[in-house]
Structure 1
Amino acid sequence: MHSPRPSRAEQIHAATPSSRNRVVDLLRAVAITVVVLGHWTIIAVSADGGIQPHGVLDAARWTHPLTWIFQVMPIFFLVGGYSNALSWRSARRRGLGYAPWLRSRLRRLGIPVIPLLLVWLAVCGIGLAAGAAPATLQLASQMALVPTWFLAAYLLVIVVAPACLVLWERFGWWSVAGGVLLAGIVDAGSILADRPLLGYPNYLLVWASFHQVGFAWLDGRLAGSARRLALAGIGAAGLALLVGLGPYPVSMITAATDEISNSSPTRVTMAFLGMAQAGLILLAERPLAALLERPRVWFLTVLVNQRIMTWFLWHLTALVALAHLLIALDARPLLPAPLSGVWWLTRPLWCLALLGLTALLVLAFGRFESPRADDRPAPALWRPVLAAAMVCAGLAVMADAGMVGAGGLQPLWPLLPPAGMLIGGIVALPGRRARTPQP
């Protein structure tokens, strides 16, 4: 008798190298799920008040401490540090230089965002031509593009990741401490001068410094419960001091009721939050790794990771679209008063509806997350660096201001990232497409 054919989950489980740290993939998948569900919850939508980006946080201060759990952006940078160090060291062993390595990272992260920008550019252009209020389109596009702030910050960190790895390999934990200290100095200047713009360097300083905790995880410098507890303790103590005695608010997500935001611009508090979260989460690494040996659990983790960028980039477009549709239809029974009992009871249904819409968007645009293999010669160094700069600049502006201003459509910023991808050679021009290597 023939043995039964292995299921798809069992095949993927068997094909996964034993050297792969599956917990990295799980943390990435869980973090994106928390971000998506968090955004769908804190954004309040009502027939009278319209869309309130941080409605729940603004109206219910009791939710602010919960952001210490649900603000999981540090986890992305933790697993990013682990993955980027692994990738760059592999590139060094194969003799692959910085320029082609950076190009490959930009292809993976930059290509999926191009359809999002072009779709919203078309939506804003058509909306303005049809007589929609510029302020409405400005808010809609800005909200839909909120996820791009993370992408801009993460790309900045990738650009400097090889240099940060050199610092880590030479100075170890002192490189992390030095970066956090510099971030604190930047914060002090920004807060004392009451100029948030002066704090913008911390989008790089804070995240690049904390990103190195991922290096420590990879290198075994966080092995053992004692070290992980110590990291969590340092993070919790630093966070408690900065919030309890310093000027920083409790909420780790921007709230209109706070004079200072911990996340816009990124403050040094986020580094300490990341340390606390990383230390506690890594205490569970061994049982999580055992759980991921189950083929079905690992299969689900792989599925989420295959389209993780698309889920992340489009989940707020789904919310904006559904919210505007219900408001336009004056569907008051489907838009209960935010924070009311009915509102809380209907949150699971709200999330399920948005999950369905986002799934359709993933089906439509997920293919951009799997670009063709790229075997082109190594580019000149300036090309991927320029591409990264143009992508980061465009995404950062749109995450803050959307695509529509007082003077109407602002096409420069949505077109800047695609232009950078073309000029930098990240996306090959028609007729010069990257070739798929032959077996």
Structure 2
Amino acid sequence: MTTSTPPPAAAPDAAPGRRRGMVATASAMAAATPEDRNRVVDLLRAVSILVVVLGHWLVAGIQVTGDGDVVNRDVLGMAPWLHPATWAIQVMPIFFLVGGYANGLSWRSARSRGTTYGGWLRARLRRLALPVVPLMVFWAAFAPLMAWAGLGSDYLRIATTAALVPTWFLAAYVVVVAVAPGALVLWERFGWASVVGGVALAALVDVVSITTDQLLLGFLNYLVVWGTIHQLGYAWLDGALAGVARRALLLVTGLVVLVLLTTVGPYAVSMVGVEGYGINNQLPTRVTLVFLGMLQTGVVLLLEPALRRLASHHGVWTATILVNGRIMTLYLWHLTAMGVVIAASLALGGLGLRLDPLTSQWWTSRPLWLLVLVVTTLGMAAVAGRFEQAGRDDRPAPAAWRPVLAVVGMAASLGAMAYVGIVDGDTVNWWLPLAPAAIVLLTGVARPPRVPGRA
């Protein structure tokens, strides 16, 4: 069985006095990569996030009307013929799949070294949580600044809600990471029964939530659905998905059930949230995404030999290291970059945003739209990306309750902001983004700032 080193490949900043460009650093890391590393895990992680970023940018139907108002056209709602394509662009299941692989390997390594759960969880949270801090501080300052500058509440509501949407994933993922050691025990003891049990529980949550019209109950599936796909990562790690037959069976099972649920069943075909075409599969997460995860897992694992050959090329592997080195920053900031571009457009009288979505002119403008967003996002990542390189943490392992409290606080605050945004009517609740940033600091996930002159 091919193994992988526990942490994801990253491109750290060079030491002072020996600073090199990130590309050169990543190239050197690529050359030094151990032969037994499963590069497919890192490749899939990088590609899945890039697909999510590209998908968000392409389905954005932001338009400035003749009156100067900002509206968010629902591109998927306007074009139901695009809905089947979401089975390919909704790739968050792949991220949870590789998360299961990496977290299983990481926890086993920590367990063998005698690392405590509290120490392990804090280390995992540092990589996930620290990039959130500059984003939250940015919006705590940028939103009221834009309100003071005279931008309308419609723009602020659209911009803040869209920009904070990525935090729903982080809210779900930190919870899944927190329960990963226990979930691994379930996998080691019960094997595939733990996956079947997760599917059954997700289905039960849906049945009760939908039949009783209890939307909040459906949010339990943020843990159950993504946690079940995370179990597939353990199966991959342990070789339980080795062989073409098993991978093909997983693919066919996911495809057949997904087709039934979206044709005979009540669920929407779109795996990205869209209203008016059946039960929304994403808000809250529904059981359909478990079967999408099975389908996608079967596909990528059938392609694993080809992906392994692709990742063995030095250039591809170097690019993979570069993306993984800033993966959380790119994910968290890509919609904020779009908000800044929209603000700049409004300052220029709606330049580039007066086209009707899905028209030929709108499609023709997409390459330039993407180029502007790429440049803006990379600029932001250059500034905020240093928070993703947490550095060595030599503090004693904390009591388990501290990182667990951080998980609960982050999940609650990030999830709430992703759902409601920070603009209520004409009121900008600038302090809301500071809550998750404060939680990261107060629970000790982040090292407190050092006072000059003190050791």
Residue equivalent to 2:93: 74
Query: Which one of 30, 33, 39 corresponds to residue 22 of structure 1?
Result: 39
Residue equivalent to 2:51: 34
TM-score by length of structure 1 reads: 0.93
* Cα pair distance change 1:295/1:253, threshold 3 Å: same
Residue equivalent to 2:389: 370
Answer yes or no: is the 8 Å Cα contact 1:43–1:51 preserved in 2. no
Q: What is the CA–CA distance in structure 1 between the aligned matches of 2:44 and 2:78, rounded to whole Å?
A: 31
Q: Provide Cα deviations, 1:138-178, integer angstroms capped at 9, x if missing partner.
A: 22111111110000000110011101000000011110110
The number of aligned residues is 429
Identity of aligned residues (%): 52
- Alpha-carbon shift at residue 392 of structure 1 (Å): 0.9
More deviation in 321-330 or 267-276?
321-330
- Alpha-carbon shift at residue 130 of structure 1 (Å): 4.3
Answer yes or no: is the 8 Å Cα contact 1:42–1:56 preserved in 2. yes
Q: Provide Cα deviations, 1:382-437, integer angstroms capped at 9, x if missing partner.
A: 1111111111111101111111224723355312212211221111223389x99x
Equivalent positions of 1:338-353 (< 5 A) are 338-353=357-372
AA aligned to 2:147 is: L
Residue equivalent to 2:292: 273
Answer yes or no: is the 8 Å Cα contact 2:251–2:297 preserved in 1. yes
Answer yes or no: is the 8 Å Cα contact 1:111–1:369 preserved in 2. yes
Residue equivalent to 2:4: none
Residue equivalent to 1:243: 262
Query: Which one of 30, 33, 51 corresponds to residue 13 of structure 1?
Result: 30
- Alpha-carbon shift at residue 324 of structure 1 (Å): 2.8
Equivalent positions of 1:30-69 (< 5 A) are 30-48=47-65, 53=72, 55-69=74-88
Q: What is the CA–CA distance in structure 2 between the aligned matches of 1:46 and 1:167, rounded to whole Å?
A: 49
* Cα pair distance change 1:432/1:273, threshold 3 Å: farther
Query: Which one of 231, 237, 240 corresponds to residue 218 of structure 1?
Result: 237
Residue equivalent to 1:177: 196
Residue equivalent to 1:232: 251
Q: What is the CA–CA distance in structure 2 between the aligned matches of 1:358 and 1:9, rounded to whole Å?
A: 20
- Alpha-carbon shift at residue 136 of structure 1 (Å): 3.1
TM-score by length of structure 2 reads: 0.90
Answer yes or no: is the 8 Å Cα contact 2:140–2:432 preserved in 1. no
More deviation in 10-19 or 75-84?
10-19
Q: Gapped runs of 5+ residues in structure 2?
A: 1-23
- Alpha-carbon shift at residue 309 of structure 1 (Å): 0.7
Query: Which one of 295, 319, 330 corresponds to residue 314 of structure 2?
Result: 295
Answer yes or no: is the 8 Å Cα contact 1:155–1:388 preserved in 2. yes
Answer yes or no: is the 8 Å Cα contact 1:121–1:403 preserved in 2. no
Q: What is the CA–CA distance in structure 2 between the aligned matches of 1:409 and 1:327, rounded to whole Å?
A: 19
What is the root-mean-square deviation of aligned Cα atoms in Å? Answer: 2.0
More deviation in 71-80 or 316-325?
316-325
Answer yes or no: is the 8 Å Cα contact 1:54–1:255 preserved in 2. no
Correspondence 1:422 to 2:409 = no
AA aligned to 1:315 is: H
Q: Gapped runs of 5+ residues in structure 1?
A: 1-6
Secondary structure of 2:272's aligned partner? coil
Correspondence 1:104 to 2:130 = no
Correspondence 1:391 to 2:410 = yes
* Cα pair distance change 1:17/1:314, threshold 3 Å: same
Q: Provide Cα deviations, 1:254-283, integer angstroms capped at 9, x if missing partner.
A: 113335210111000000001001101111
More deviation in 280-289 or 398-407?
398-407
Query: Which one of 307, 318, 329 corresponds to residue 326 of structure 2?
Result: 307
- Alpha-carbon shift at residue 54 of structure 1 (Å): 6.0
- Alpha-carbon shift at residue 135 of structure 1 (Å): 4.1
AA aligned to 2:268 is: P
* Cα pair distance change 1:117/1:333, threshold 3 Å: closer
Answer yes or no: is the 8 Å Cα contact 2:70–2:154 preserved in 1. no
Residue equivalent to 1:325: 344
Answer yes or no: is the 8 Å Cα contact 1:310–1:366 preserved in 2. yes
Residue equivalent to 1:3: none
* Cα pair distance change 1:415/1:13, threshold 3 Å: closer
AA aligned to 2:303 is: A
AA aligned to 1:367 is: R
More deviation in 335-344 or 262-271?
335-344
Secondary structure of 1:45's aligned partner? strand
* Cα pair distance change 1:397/1:53, threshold 3 Å: farther
- Alpha-carbon shift at residue 224 of structure 1 (Å): 0.8
Q: What is the CA–CA distance in structure 1 between the aligned matches of 2:192 and 2:202, rounded to whole Å?
A: 16
Secondary structure of 1:343's aligned partner? helix
